Chains A and B, each alone.
Chain A
Amino acid sequence: MVKSIGAPHDRIDGIPKVTGGATYAADVKLEGQLYAIAVQSTIAAGKIVTLESASAEATPGVVAVYSHLNARKALTWIHSDELLALSAEALGLSALPSGSSRPVGYLPLTSPEIYFAGQWIAVVVAESIEAARHGVGRIKVRYEVDAASVVMNDEKDDWIEPTFFFGADMQVQRGNAPNTRHGEVLVQETYATPMQLHQPMEPSATTASWDGDEVTLFDSTQGVLATREYVAQSLKVPTEKVRVISAYVGGGFGSKNQVWPHQALAAHMARALGRPVRLQLTRSDMALASGHRSYTEQDVRLVADRDGKIRLLQHVSRVPTSIQGGFFEPCGLNSLLLYGAETLDVRHRVTRKNIPTPTPFRAPGETPGSFALESALDELAHTLKVDPLELRRRNFPSRDSYHDRDWSSNHLLECYRLGAAAFNWPGRYVPPRSIREGSEMVGYGMATTAYPAPALPATVRLRLQVQGLAIVETSATDIGTGMYTILAQTVADELGLPVSQLEVRLGDSTFPNAPTAGRSKSTASVLPAARQACFSLREKLASIGAPHSPMPQSNESIFSLLERQAIPELVAEGTSAGMPREHNLSFYSFGAHFVEVRVDEELGRIRVSRVVSAFDCGRIINPKTATSQIKGGIVFGIGMALMEQGEFDPVYSRLINDNLADYHIPVNADIGDIDVIFIDKPDMRFNEFGARGLGEIGVPGTAAAITNALYSATGRRIRSLPATAAAIL
């Protein structure tokens, strides 16, 4: 039988997705279901003085209105430290030393205080979407307005020095300042990246329905178990009374990675009203009630020898977080590991602003951080007049000197070589403004990307059914990643079954434990568990009389064995260990982007005409879905480079572009050829598949490769994203 792993298998969830049969959270409609829509604060700081809901409540079809005035009593909607600890607000909080005024995390409808514009101040529940919307318009609010601040000011702001986050010290100072008298070269610049919105195409939604003392949530989350825990804590019910189902999730990119208040609120309202409730975020809510990537400012200073060897790397980030939350962008993560400078000064400073709480966004830290670092390297290359690729080769980190560990495997040099060859990279120093074709200036740019390879323990259950079906169950989610398909491929290979005899079921909290789909860890967490489950199933089969061979010769045999023994179903589970035990290694994926841009300087038009990116992500389980995922990451990078930017109103401090017309993401016409190359060398020290995840690694580096190419084309250095027509004209 042909091995399925490594083959470009079509997605097994393809048919439901192209026929409209895949059920996302808001596609569920239950008997008697109500619809809920939130009301947003129009001010960014201050207090609600009065909130009148009588006219909304009198609107035909409106069933209830909840606000800080009644939620505590009517919904048992109460904030607590235990709840905070499980919420999106808490991530990063422990890294931020606080004085006497300890932030407690924002929970809507618990107080009249306003911390940011767009904060939820009420929820209207009605018989129909139309009635709920009508009710929202009839809520009247009077505020007491305080001064709000959404923009950083280096001198005036209070700065917090975070301690330890994402497994790294946020204040690293190591090595002596190099002696700069001997003709060393210096780059010293400030780089800025914009506020970004995740904008998954599916707005988050929760449909909650009670049956006795048990509640089921049809939810759009990257993690059903984390959601279950939070919702149970909020409802003050035992965890097993809450079931969370997310069989299909319409993208997340981090916005559905943490648990947000609406997920519990739907359950509280359904309990109070005795009817199922669907609470769906509007597109505007998606910008304000499920996190974002904050803007950043980063100072980078490089000191290098004349031959380009980097001696000192200084990378100091200034980033905001919210008034009550904790998440901040750890921009310096890759600066600790790449390029092996003997002197490191990588620090972070955080200040509190009247913004919603930021949250992880596809490669948090690495994405904005790599824009600064990879731009600075390009500036160094141009100062030295060396090929930017050659400069990176000269600074190749042969080991992880920050952690003083070897890499489990590192084929970055191979990425440079294969990527450059496929791109036809010049291979010598090309001064800026060297290439003109017709009315366009042409430029080439490149950048390195790197992302850690984590893994957590997971469990997979197999159910072999006598009628000829093998069911695979785990609570992991497939948010577009391809998890359905790669799990099927894994089990198909281990059991010697065709994929058509498998049914994979995901995203249900009653299924065995698996981590949240985030931080590129699902493949390395879940596939080893599936393999263990296959081992254990084969042992059970052997004990009832199947030949104990690693690969049954014909699939008939295992099913007919069940038939002969009159066993309707044989169940087995397998669990993975997470990170390899007793290692002293750094597990990372690497890659290199090569970009061609074409710039019409008269029109200010920038086109990313060609991208070639090469990746070392270990062994590739499914080159088809893997390529798609990486391309998607590169498209995110193109958006970041050229158009994405959340903007605040300078007077009212509201997010102006909380919608898809004003917040631009790439459309089809923006995306040219993207060529993805995988080195495909297994990392056998990481897991038995040799596979590392690849959900994020396409994003870091892309924006810098594009602005480096823009410099090559035009001689204009873009240090503040996005690079719009205005930046070129």
Chain B
Amino acid sequence: MKTRVSFTVNGDTIDTAIDVRATLLDVLREELRLTGTKKGCDHGQCGACTVLVDGKRTLSCLKFAASLEGCAVLTVEGIGKPDALHPLQAAFIKHDAFQCGFCTSGQIMSALEVIGDPLANTREAVREKMSGNLCRCGAYPNIVSAIMEVKSNGTV
């Protein structure tokens, strides 16, 4: 069964009929071909699929796309470009905050909320706030360093 839904992704309006069973993650990846958002578990357990919905970080594998009427979705493709990186993207490279890179989009989208979080001002607090995003490569200390740098300077 399909239903019509209208929302924006990275500022572009999407107005389309979608399978009611489809998650936002699968719509982003398979229909809109925005594959920067990753599927690590499909069950809300890893954070690889994190995007912002109306400015809040959201696990896109747990969100039915049909429920997004009127929402604004932001994915990793929408925050910076290879020649104009977002400061967080640049900081992730500088601090080597990834190895395989598979969790990275989700980490960066989560970090986007954390850099604006006034309660996350110490490494300890950032570690807590970033604990919904698993990284099996173990880049955690470097992820925290990247976030702390952007928090303190606003840039890299």
Using a CB–CB cutoff of 8 Å, the interface residues on chain A facing chain B are 10-11, 13-24, 26-27, 29, 128-130, 133-134, 198-203, 248-251, 253, 280, 282-283, 479-482, 624-625, 627-629, 631-636, 659-661, 665-671, 673-674
Contacts and interface: CB of A to CB of B under 8 A. Distances in A.
Contacts of B80: 18-19
B30 A201 contact: no
The contact size tier of chain B is 35 or more
Given A249-B100, A635-B140, A666-B140, A19 B77 contact: yes
A201 B43 contact: no
B102 A668 contact: no
A354 B15 CA distance: 50
Contacts of A482: 99
A202 B81 contact: no
B43 A14 contact: no
B130 to A, nearest CB: 4
A202 B19 contact: no
Interface of chain B, main secondary structure: loop
A660 B101 contact: no
A631 B134 CA distance: 15
Contact of A631 (B104, B136, B141): B141
Contact of B29 (A27, A199, A634, A636): A27
Contact of B137 (A480, A661, A669): A480
Contacts of A20: 34-37, 75-77, 105
B46 A201 contact: yes
Contact of A660 (B76, B131, B134, B144): B134
B93 to A, nearest CB: 4
Interface in B1-22: 19, 21-22
Contact of B42 (A15, A27, A283, A479): A283
B127 A22 contact: no
A631 to B, nearest CB: 6
**Residue among B35, B105, B108 having the largest count of chain A Cβ atoms under 10 Å:** B35
Contacts of A201: 38, 40, 46, 48, 100, 102-103, 134-137
B144 to A, nearest CB: 7
A17 B19 contact: no
A250 B130 contact: no
A203 B139 contact: no
Contacts of A26: 39
A418 to B, nearest CB: 20
A516 to B, nearest CB: 16
Q: Which 7 A-B pairs have the closest CB atoms?
A: A20-B36, A250-B102, A635-B138, A480-B100, A17-B101, A480-B99, A632-B138
Contacts of A130: 19, 21-22, 26
A497 B19 CA distance: 52
A229 B142 CA distance: 38
B41 A668 contact: no
23 contacts: A11-B98, A14-B98, A16-B82, A17-B101, A18-B89, A18-B104, A19-B36, A201-B134, A201-B137, A248-B101, A250-B38, A250-B101, A251-B100, A283-B43, A283-B46, A479-B100, A480-B98, A480-B100, A480-B101, A625-B99, A631-B139, A631-B142, A660-B134
Contact of A18 (B33, B43, B75, B98): B98
Nearest to B98: A17
Contacts of A661: 43, 45
Contacts of B98: 11, 14, 17-18, 480
B69 interface: no
A18 B131 contact: no
Contacts of B137: 201, 251, 480, 628, 632
Contacts of A631: 138-139, 141-142
A19 B85 contact: yes
Contacts of B42: 282-283
Contact of B138 (A202, A636, A660): A636
A632 B40 contact: no
Given A14-B92, A253-B136, A666-B140, A283 B99 contact: no
A450 B63 CA distance: 46
A19 B144 contact: no
Contacts of A634: 138
Contact of B43 (A128, A134, A199, A659): A659
B96 interface: yes
Contacts of A480: 98-101, 137
A250 B38 CA distance: 10
A19 B85 CA distance: 8
A251 B99 contact: yes
A187 to B, nearest CB: 32
A202 B100 contact: yes
A443 B152 CA distance: 34
B94 A10 contact: yes
Given A19-B36, A20-B77, 5 more contacts: A130-B19, A201-B40, A201-B134, A625-B99, A636-B138
A665 B134 contact: yes
**Residue among A133, A202, A661 having the largest count of chain B Cβ atoms under 10 Å:** A202
Nearest to B144: A668
Nearest to A630: B138
Nearest to A485: B96
B113 to A, nearest CB: 14
Interface string B138-152: 111111100000000
B140 A671 contact: yes
A629 B137 CA distance: 8
A24 B104 CA distance: 13
A628 B96 CA distance: 7
B93 A11 contact: yes
B85 to A, nearest CB: 7
A203 B40 contact: yes
Contacts of A632: 99, 137-139
B93 A283 contact: no
B142 A628 contact: yes
B94 to A, nearest CB: 7
**Residue among A199, A480, A627 having the largest count of chain B Cβ atoms under 10 Å:** A480
A628 B139 contact: yes
A251 B102 contact: yes
A19 B38 contact: no
Given A13-B101, A24-B38, A673-B141, A18 B108 contact: yes
Contacts of B132: 667
A665 B102 CA distance: 16
A661 B29 CA distance: 23
A373 B73 CA distance: 52
A27 B34 CA distance: 9
A96 B113 CA distance: 54
A625 B42 CA distance: 29
A315 B38 CA distance: 43
**Residue among A11, A198, A201, A627 having the largest count of chain B Cβ atoms under 10 Å:** A201
A253 B21 CA distance: 33
Contacts of B41: 203, 283, 659-660
B58 interface: no
Nearest to B19: A130
A24 B36 CA distance: 10
Contacts of B131: 667-670
A352 B135 CA distance: 33
A15 B100 contact: no
A199 B136 contact: yes
A202 B133 CA distance: 13
A80 to B, nearest CB: 34
B100 A283 contact: no
Nearest to B48: A201
A653 B108 CA distance: 39
A674 B39 CA distance: 29
A637 to B, nearest CB: 10
Contacts of A660: 40-41, 43, 45-46, 134
Nearest to A9: B96
A128 B19 contact: yes
A509 B80 CA distance: 32
